[in-house]
């Protein structure tokens, strides 16, 4: 069976299960141009400097879908899964587009990023932790000044996703692709497994879409 035929069958099945408004919003979107578990611990001085430079380089760079059918399949699939967290179909699709773009720019699986967001903020863009971490991926505000962008708004979806994805990418590179310790670093709990376990449980339950790199 050809790739196109397989995708077409997948789409027909999903149109029977996804609400009509979501499909309608998706069709319109495709025509367009293109409470929290914080990252609690502040990094040490040398790590903070290295990560700050990394963020400064990445933050100004910024669609991730190269295939319309891939976009339809992924967005319809994930929109159905996201419905318990975000009720409005158009908001879901706009949000998923942002997640896919920023995750792909950082070389991360979008499903991993969705899992981190679920654990960190339960998709509340205005979430603030007891130590002041902000937004969807619970980014510490000091990073804005550290990289010379003090006016960045961490409750803005794209901004928060870009910071969070690039920080997680940095820790994955530091851990040579090992996912569990990179997740622990992201949360500030290196050497402990409770946070990676929460993220991976969320991934298996709600966002699984194939195996994750570095999961061993």
Q: What was the pLDDT predicted at 45?
A: 76
Q: Tell me, yes or no, whether 172 lies in a domain.
A: yes
Predicted confidence (pLDDT) per residue in 106-132, tens digit? 999 999 999 999 999 999 999 999 999
Q: Tell me, yes or no, whether 138 lies in a domain.
A: yes
Q: Does residue 2 register a pLDDT over 60?
A: no
Residue 125 to residue 157: CA distance in whole angstroms:
7
Task: Give, in degrees to the nearest 5, the angle at Cα 79 between 78 and 85.
Answer: 105
Mean pLDDT computed over 136-164: 96
Q: Tell me, yes or no, whether 137 lies in a domain.
A: yes
Tokens of 121: 């903020």
Q: Tell me, yes or no, whether 213 lies in a domain.
A: no
In 10 A of CB 84, how many CB atoms?
Answer: 10
Residue 150 to residue 145: CA distance in whole angstroms:
5
Q: What was the pLDDT predicted at 73?
A: 86
Q: Tell me, yes or no, whether 136 lies in a domain.
A: yes
Mean pLDDT computed over 141-156: 94
What CATH number is associated with residue 107? 1.10.530
Q: What was the pLDDT predicted at 90?
A: 85
Give the count of domains, the chain. 1
Q: What was the pLDDT predicted at 4?
A: 45
Q: Tell me, yes or no, whether 212 lies in a domain.
A: no
Residue 192 to residue 181: CA distance in whole angstroms:
8
CB 98 within 8 A of CB 159: no
- Domain housing 69: 3-33+44-207
pTM assigned to the model:
0.74
The model's confidence at residue 10, banded by pLDDT at 50, 70 and 90, is very low
């Amino acid at each position: 069976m050809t790739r196109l035929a397989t995708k077409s069958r997948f789409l027909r099945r999903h149109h029977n299960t996804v609400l009509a408004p979501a499909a309608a919003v998706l069709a319109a979107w495709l025509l367009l141009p293109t409470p929290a578990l914080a990252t609690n611990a502040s990094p040490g001085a040398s790590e903070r400097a290295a990560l700050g430079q990394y963020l400064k380089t990445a933050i100004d760079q910024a669609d991730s879908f190269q295939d319309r059918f891939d976009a339809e399949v992924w967005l319809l699939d994930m929109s159905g899964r996201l419905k318990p967290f975000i009720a409005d179909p158009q908001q879901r699709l706009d949000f998923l587009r942002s997640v896919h773009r920023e995750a792909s720019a950082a070389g991360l699986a979008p499903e991993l990023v969705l899992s981190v967001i679920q654990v960190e903020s339960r998709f509340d863009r205005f979430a603030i932790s007891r130590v002041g971490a902000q937004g969807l991926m619970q980014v510490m505000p000091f990073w804005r000044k550290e990289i010379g962008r003090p006016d960045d708004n961490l409750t803005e979806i794209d901004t928060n996703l870009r910071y969070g994805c690039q920080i997680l990418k940095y820790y994955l590179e530091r851990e040579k692709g090992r996912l569990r310790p990179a997740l622990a670093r992201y949360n500030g709990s290196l050497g402990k497994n409770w946070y990676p376990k929460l993220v991976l449980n969320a991934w298996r339950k709600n966002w699984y879409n194939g195996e994750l790199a570095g999961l061993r």
